[in-house]
Amino acid sequence: MSDCSRDRDFVARLGGDEFTILLHQIQTVEEGNAIAQRIKEQLAAPFSLQGHTVFTSASIGIVVADYKYQDSAEILRDADLAMYRAKSLGKARHEVFHPEMYAETKRLLEIENDLHQAILQDQFVLHYQPIVSLTTDTLYGFEALLRWNHPTKGLVYPDQFISVAEETGLIVAIGEWVLKEACNQMYLWQSKYSGAANLKINVNIASQQIKNSNFLDILDQTIANTGLSGRSLHLEITETTLMDYKPETIYVFQQIREREIRLNIDDFGTGYSSLQYLKRFPINMLKIDRSFIQGMLNERENFEIVKMIITLSRTLKIDIVAEGIENLKQLQVLKALNCQLGQGYLFSKPLERESAELLIEQ
Ligand code: C2E
Ligand code: CA
Ligand code: CA
């Protein structure tokens, strides 16, 4: 960080993984932005730590310390707010403080409080998005997607609350509910419709859930209580989960496989996709992120990436789901590439339970 700032600047570590840089005499905020940019570029390069390749990133908040500030604590507080904003907008970003951020912080705090109530008062519901076999044009299964029936705001989508749930750790309890509800629902469908016996249910699992020491117990309880076969359950995890795994995680993954439950990598291609993951972890399926599918027809590069992932997975005997298929042209190209499974608005948006059931019936 010292390398990225200027001689007259002051770099300090506040504690833990928090650092502060005091930029002396800047003319405009652009200078602050430029230094933030430099730090991000510097950190983007992987480095080697005890024989492992490690990636890191920083979220940076910038505040311009003008006449309205009375003391340093106020400046740090606002820099902190800007930093949290940067963090919530995604990894490795920088944001300049703006008074509106107070309102945003208040909003996030409200969500956090409401989320506690949501669990107690059973305000969550699942929607189900069909996953379709591109080779047989039949229903393969569903992905369970969480929605929040908020008492005043109506139906709230996960992009509004999942990150708060992750930051506060509430995701562990919420995720447990999702798992039970989704498995229970699939078991009911399989029992009710003979044609549904082979349908799969995909459940999104946050990294914190996998790291929780109770995870395997919860999985076993769910399987035992709902009666669903492990073979019908797919767990979707992200590359981030694989990236910051603990040695114990490998054991958890093996145990998941012992139960014939399948592991899918979600949003494949958006993180630090490493082909090593596919060798190191018992992965059964990749979901190609929708950004590649959507860019595939116009950008040669995206097309080549999709093609490469499909070819690679065939060699490794890993199944592929293309996410975010929105039009027929995309579908044709994916079929020509021998992609096995697809999901997207072209087939169906996520459906309420009743509509999903109608679809199964049909
Ligand atoms: P995801 O796992 O990548 O889920 C797919 C998202 O893409 C869903 O958004 C879905 O509605 C949307 N989608 C599906 N097909 C299309 C399409 O053709 N075009 C476009 N533009 N979008 C499409 P949703 O339901 O808002 O979920 C957003 C994210 O929230 C999910 O992304 C997942 O990361 C997270 N999430 C949802 N439910 C859960 C959950 O139960 N647990 C956890 N940990 N995360 C969840
Ligand atoms: Ca998913
Ligand atoms: Ca996805």
Q: For tokens 């549904």, name the residue.
A: 196
| Residue 63 zone, left/alpha/beta (φ > 0; ψ -120 to 50; rest) | beta
- Say what the pLDDT of residue 274 is: 73
- Say what the pLDDT of residue 90 is: 77
Answer for the pair 79, 63: CB distance below 8 angstroms, yes or no.
yes
- Say what the pLDDT of residue 71 is: 92
Round to whole Å and give the CA distance between 108 and 283. Answer: 35
Determine whether 183 is exposed, middle or buried from the number of CB atoms within 10 Å of its CB (0-12, 13-18, 19+): buried
Q: Ligand 1: which of 131, 145, 172, 267 to mutate, most ligand atoms within 8 Å of CB?
A: 145
pLDDT along the chain (362 residues), means of 10: 90 92 90 93 88 87 90 93 87 91 86 93 97 97 98 96 92 97 98 96 96 95 97 94 81 94 93 77 94 94 94 92 98 97 98 98 94
Ligand 2 centroid from CA 286, angstroms: 11
User: Looking at the DSSP assignment, which residues form a beta bridge with residue 109?
Assistant: none
List all residues whose CB is within 6 A of at least one atom of ligand 1. 129, 145-146, 157-159, 162, 171, 175, 178, 204, 206, 266-267, 290, 324-326, 343-345, 350
- Say what the pLDDT of residue 6 is: 87
Q: Which atom of ligand 1 is nearest to the CA of 267?
A: 3
How far from the centroid of its chain's Cα atoms is residue 156's Cα? 17
* Claim: this prediction has a pTM higher than 0.75: yes
Round to whole Å and give the CA distance between 219 and 56. Answer: 31
Query: CATH homologous superfamily for 10-97?
Result: Reverse transcriptase/Diguanylate cyclase domain (3.30.70.270)
For CA atoms 90, 170, 237, 129, the dihedral sign is: negative
**All structural domains of the chain with their residue ranges:** 10-97, 115-361
Q: Ligand 1: which of 183, 185, 204 to mutate, most ligand atoms within 8 Å of CB?
A: 204
- Say what the pLDDT of residue 46 is: 87
- Say what the pLDDT of residue 250 is: 87
User: Comparing C-alpha atoms, which of 187, 243, 251 is closest to residue 215?
Assistant: 251
Q: Take residue 74 and report the two structure tokens written for it.
A: 């106020």
Domain 115-361 in this protein, CATH class: alpha beta
Q: Ligand 1: which of 162, 174, 179, 345 to mutate, most ligand atoms within 8 Å of CB?
A: 162
- Say what the pLDDT of residue 55 is: 81
